[in-house]
Structure 1
Amino acid sequence: MAEAHTAFFIGDVALDDYFTAERWPGIADKAYVREVKSYVGGMIANAASVHAGLGGRTEFISLLNDSPLSARLCAAMEELGVSTRHMLRDPSLADSRNLIFLTGGEHVVLIIEMGDQPMHLTDEALAALRTPGHLYMSLGRTKRLRAEGLQGRELLADLRRHGRRLILDLDVDGFADGDLDYLHGAEVLIMNQIGFGHAFGDIDLAGINAWMRQNEVGTVIRTLAAAGAEAFDGEGRIAVRGYTVPVVDVTGAGDTFGGALTYALGENLGLSEALELAIAAASRAVTIEGPQGGVASLETIEKFRTEFAGRRS
C-alpha cells in the first residue's frame, strides 16, 4: 500500500456552547433554555479531529484572533493529534463561538459572525500544501484563500498540479452557478439531501454525469441522514445503508462522515469501502453528545460495525 500523505483541513474552529430547550421559539416569542456544556467544535475542525482520531496525519488552518479562547481552541486540537502550526491570525476578529440548541430531536446552530476576510497562507503553509494529499474545505473558505497572488480556481489548480486533491463539504447550501470555478477539478463533493436539492434540484445522481465531466469533478456524494449515503463517480452509483441507533445529538455527524471519508481515501481504500467506514463513523457519532462525538480510533469504529451489523437501515 502506498504511503499515506498528510491531509489539510482549512476552515472553522469554534467553542460550541450547548443549550437544551423544550421547544424552539418563534418570532416575538420566548422560551426557557438550559445551559449544558461547552465543547470545541466547528465544521472543518470536527472533520480534522475525526481524521486524526483514526490515525491520519492531519494539519488544520483557520483564521483566529490572539485571545485566550483562540489559544484554548488550538491547544484542544493539538491534544487530539491535529497540528495547528500554520494557523493564521488577525487580532481584530471576534472570538470564534457557536450557540447550539438541542430541541425536538434536532439542533439549531447560531454562529457568531466573524467576517469574510481573505486568508493569506504563509509561505510555509503553501509549501506544505504543494505536496500530495487531500485538502478538505468548505466552499466559503475556498473563496477566501490567497497565496502568492493566486486565489480561487488558479490557486486550487496550482495545488492540484502538486498532487493536492480537493474534497469540498458543501453541506446544506450546495452551490450556485457562480461557484463553479471553485468546484472545478475537485476529487469529491459532499452534500446532504438539502444541499443536493439546492444545487441540482430533483434529479437522480446519474443525471449529473455530464455536469461532472464538464467540471472535471471526480465523485459526488449525497448523504441521506439515517438512511446512509450514495455516491456517483461517473461510472456507477454506489449506495451504502446507515445504521439504526439511539440518537443523542446529530451535531457533527456530517463532519464525522467527511473526516472518516478523507481518512479512508487517503489510505487508498475504494469508494465503496470508504463510504462504509464514513457511514459507520457518522452513525456512531450521533449516539454521543457534543460536536466531536465522532472522534474515535479505527478499532472503535470496527467494534461499532460489528455490534450494529444487524441493525442497518
Structure 2
Amino acid sequence: MTHIVVLGSTNMNLVAYVDKAPERGETVTGREFRTIPGGKGANQAIAAARAGAIVTMIGAVGNDAYGTQLRSALEHSGVDTDLLRTIDTPSGTAHIVVDDEGGNAIVVIPGANGTVDHLAPGDEALIATADALLLQLEIPLAAVVAGAQAARAHGVRTILTPAPAQPLPSELLAAVDLLVPNEHEATTLTGLADPIAAATALLDSVPAAVVTLGPAGSLYVARGAEPLAVPAPEVTAVDSTGAGDTYVGALAVALAEERPIREALKWAAAAAALSVQRAGASASMPYRSEIEAGYAS
C-alpha cells in the first residue's frame, strides 16, 4: 500500500457561516459556528488516508483541549501520529468565514505549529520510507526546506503546496518535484495573472506543476511536455474550505499508485468536487470508495 508522509500544520478551524462576508469595518450576523479540525498539513494527511494511503503526520499540537481533539481527528481517519509532537503552548487555530457561495476568508494563528522549525529525531528516517512527502507553508520555512532536502536525499517524491504564498528560496525549489499552487498563489509566485503563463513560468524553478483553478479545473505543466488542462466536475459548492488540500492528498495517492497523469488529475478533481459539497475542511473529505464512484460518473 502507498505510504505518504505529511510534514505540516495542524489547526483547529473556528468557522463562522454567513450569508455574505463582512467588508472592512462591517459587522454581520452569522447563522452558525463550528469548531472543525484542520490545518493544511492535517487536512492533506486525512485526505490521503481516506483516499487509501498509509499516512504518517509530522508536526505539533498544543498541550490543550484543541491539541487532544486534533490528534484524535487524525487518528480517527487512520493517520499515524507517533511523530506528532505535543508542545506546552496553544494549538494552532484558523479563523474562517464561509459565505453562501462557498467562498471563504481565513486568518491563521500558528500556535504550536510555529515550533516546528527543524526535523526532530526519527523524522528523516520516516521520510526515507515514504512514496511521497507532502509539504505546505504553515510551519516555519526552515523545517519545510529540511524536509524537502531529506526527501530528495532519499529519492522520495516531494509535493509542495505553496500556501500561504510567499517567496520560496532556491534551496527549497531545488528539492521539489511537483508544485501545486492555486491560481492566486501561482500569480503571487510569478507576477503573471494568466494561469498558463504563470504555470509555464514555474517550470524555471521546478520540473512540474499543477495550478488548481477551482471550478475551472486544473492545469498541469512539466518540462518537455505540452500543458494539460483537466476540467472539474460541475457541482454546487457549499463550502470550499479544504478543497485544495483534498485535491493534493488524493493526487499524491494517485501518483504514488502510478496512475497516468490525466487520470490522476481527474481522480483528484473528483475528490475535491465531493469535498466542496459538504461543510467543513477535514470533515468534508471523501473516502476512496466515494472518489472512485465520483471518478467513474
Deviates most, 274-283 or 130-139: 130-139
Q: TM-score, normalised by structure 1?
A: 0.85
Larger Rg: 1
Q: 1:156 aligns with which of 124, 141, 148?
A: 148
Alpha-carbon deviation of 1:66?
1.7
Aligned to 1:272: 262
Aligned to 2:108: 111
Residue 298 and residue 140 in structure 1: after superposition, are their counterparts in 2 closer, same or farther (change >3 A)?
closer
- Is 1:224 matched with 2:213? yes
Structure 2: how far apart are the matches of 1:27 and 1:207?
30
Residue 284 and residue 182 in structure 1: after superposition, are their counterparts in 2 closer, same or farther (change >3 A)?
same
Aligned to 1:123: 121
Tell whether the 8 Å contact from 1:264 to 1:274 is kept in structure 2 after alignment.
yes
Structure 2: how far apart are the matches of 1:191 and 1:67?
32
- Is 1:38 matched with 2:30? no
Residue 270 and residue 108 in structure 1: after superposition, are their counterparts in 2 closer, same or farther (change >3 A)?
same
Q: Which runs of 5+ in 2 are unaligned?
A: none
Give the secondary-structure state (helix, strand or coil) at the position aligned to 1:62: strand
1:102-150 per-position Cα deviation (integer Å, ceiling 9, x unaligned): 22411122222427334333322221112342110113536131xxxxx
Structure 2: how far apart are the matches of 1:294 and 1:227?
20
The count of residues paired between Structure 1 and Structure 2 equals: 293
Aligned to 2:44: 47
Give the secondary-structure state (helix, strand or coil) at the position aligned to 1:257: helix
Tell whether the 8 Å contact from 1:139 to 1:182 is kept in structure 2 after alignment.
no
1:220-278 per-position Cα deviation (integer Å, ceiling 9, x unaligned): 11111101101001112111111111211111110110000001011111211110101
1:205-224 counterparts in 2 under 5 A? 205=196, 212=203, 215=205, 217-224=206-213
Residue 245 and residue 50 in structure 1: after superposition, are their counterparts in 2 closer, same or farther (change >3 A)?
same
Residue 77 and residue 202 in structure 1: after superposition, are their counterparts in 2 closer, same or farther (change >3 A)?
same
Tell whether the 8 Å contact from 2:240 to 2:275 is kept in structure 1 after alignment.
yes
CA RMSD of aligned residues (A): 2.3
Tell whether the 8 Å contact from 2:199 to 2:210 is kept in structure 1 after alignment.
no
1:130-176 per-position Cα deviation (integer Å, ceiling 9, x unaligned): 2342110113536131xxxxx83x66334312122210001462x42
Aligned to 1:194: 184
- Is 1:97 matched with 2:93? yes
1:231-242 counterparts in 2 under 5 A? 231-234=220-223, 235-242=225-232
Q: 1:15 aligns with which of 12, 17, 37?
A: 12
Alpha-carbon deviation of 1:187?
1.1
Residue 56 and residue 219 in structure 1: after superposition, are their counterparts in 2 closer, same or farther (change >3 A)?
same
Aligned to 1:63: 60
Q: Which runs of 5+ in 1 are unaligned?
A: 146-150, 308-313
- Is 1:297 matched with 2:287? yes
Deviates most, 64-73 or 48-57: 64-73
Residue 305 and residue 38 in structure 1: after superposition, are their counterparts in 2 closer, same or farther (change >3 A)?
same
Deviates most, 164-173 or 199-208: 199-208
Residue 290 and residue 158 in structure 1: after superposition, are their counterparts in 2 closer, same or farther (change >3 A)?
closer
Deviates most, 14-23 or 53-62: 14-23
1:163-196 per-position Cα deviation (integer Å, ceiling 9, x unaligned): 22210001462x42x5232111311000111111
